[in-house]
Structure formats: C-alpha cells, structure tokens
Amino acid sequence: MAERAAKSKKFITKVIFLAAVARPRYDPHKKQIFDGKIGIWPFVEEVAAVRSSKNRPKGTLELASQSVYADVYQDMVMNEVVPEIQVKMPRGVVVKLQLDNVSPHRCVTTELIAHHGVDSIEVANQPPNSPVFNVLDLEFYKSIQSLQPQKVARSIGELIAAVEEAFYELPVTILGKTVITLQ
C-alpha cells in the first residue's frame, strides 16, 4: 500500500465519478462475452490556474473537481453514458437505466432520451432508502475502492487514471455476483 500524507483532510483530493454497469452476459451478435462494464466518467473540468506557483505559471489549464448540478449530470448521461450503452449493450434489448433518486438526477427521463432519438433505453428511478438497490454501493464500489489505493495519485489526473484502471481491472465475477444479488 502506498504511503500518503496531507496537512489536513480538507486538502484530500476528491472527485465524483459516474459509473455504468450491467449484468455480464453472452452477446450472440458479437459472439463474445460482454463483461458488464459500460464505463466510468469523472466529473472534472479544466480551469486556468489563478495564481502562479513553483509548479506551474498563472493561466495553466489544470483539472478541477466539478460540482454536479442537474444540467451537468444530464449532459454527462446524454453525451457519455447513453452513447456508450448503445455501443456496448446487445442490440434489440430494452435497457433500463436505473438512477438513484437524487434531485439533480431526476432531470434524465425516458422522454428526454427518446427526444434525442434513442428508444431502446428506459429510465427508472430507484425507490428512496431502498436497501435492495444499494448493492452497487456496498459491493461494486467497495471493490473498486480496495484496488484504487494501491496506486499513488499526486494529482487529479493521476487519481482519475487510478480509479479507471481499478474499474477495468475488477474481475467480471465480482460484477456478476453483485448484479445477481439484485434479482
């Protein structure tokens, strides 16, 4: 395990990620096994450095964590998640896009997705405080969090790379077991 140090916990770098997963299955059209990993996307933006430091001059573009409001979330789902679902999921199957019931996430609806020309995806908001749908929080994210600290991240870019690497390194069996507990 890599050693880390921070002056205070307010200096610990934090980034919010949006992950999309499905049940691993055999895809007869591609004649291969779909691993269930659709993708993981960070909520970050490039901002210009306000001040100079010994590490970089003023105005240098650097990654910063982004606040997730309804418009930011909707943009991420419509421009990143939905196209990736269309590419990776088997054809001819209606996909249920299950979102947690947080206020900013309710802006994504089946009608909005259909308005963008996608009719194979339905949106379902999970019931509030439902332990049944917390399996991804409890099992899948816990597994990723156990892999990610093995890599030292000194910047937001390195943290994003470590989380993405942990996401794709995660064995398909863990995702399969996690999704089966939902049934």
Distance (Å, rounded) from C-alpha 30 to C-alpha 9? 47
Burial 54-63 (b: 16+ CB within 10 A, else e): eeeeeeeeeb
What is the tens place of the pLDDT at every residue in 125-151? 887 777 666 667 767 777 777 776 677
DSSP state of 137: I
Residue with tokens 């307010």: 10
Domains belonging to the chain, first-starting first, are 9-180 (3.30.420)
Q: Which of residues 98 and 183 earns the better pLDDT score?
A: 98
Percent of the chain with pLDDT over 70: 87
Q: What is this structure's pTM?
A: 0.82
Per the CB < 8 A criterion, the answer to whether 25 and 38 are in contact is no
